[in-house]
């Protein structure tokens, strides 16, 4: 299982995201800094997918993630996948 984490500042406060890739499936969960419980995101927005793609791309450039993850996220986003 691969796990990727990032955070962003929102009007509600600092929001944390965690994306797990397991069994050829992405599962994304989120929480606020003030909330101890993680909640799954059933239908992630395009912004969340793009943030995850950016994180995975940076890991791929450092040889910490396989190209298939980047290509899979491009497919989900409907972007052209380079060979």
- Per-residue pLDDT tens for 24-36? 999 999 999 999 8
Q: Which residues of the chain have pLDDT under 50?
A: none
Q: What is the pLDDT of residue 51?
A: 97
Integer Cα distance of 75 and 83 in angstroms: 13
65 DSSP 8-state letter: S
């Amino acid at each position: 299982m691969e796990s990727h984490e990032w955070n962003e500042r929102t009007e509600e406060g600092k929001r944390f995201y965690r994306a797990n890739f397991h069994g050829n499936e992405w599962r994304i969960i989120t929480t606020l800094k003030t909330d101890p419980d993680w909640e799954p995101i059933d239908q992630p927005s395009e912004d969340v997918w793009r943030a995850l793609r950016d994180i995975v791309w940076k890991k791929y450039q450092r040889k910490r993630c396989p190209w298939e993850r980047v290509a899979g996220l491009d497919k989900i986003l409907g972007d052209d996948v380079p060979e």
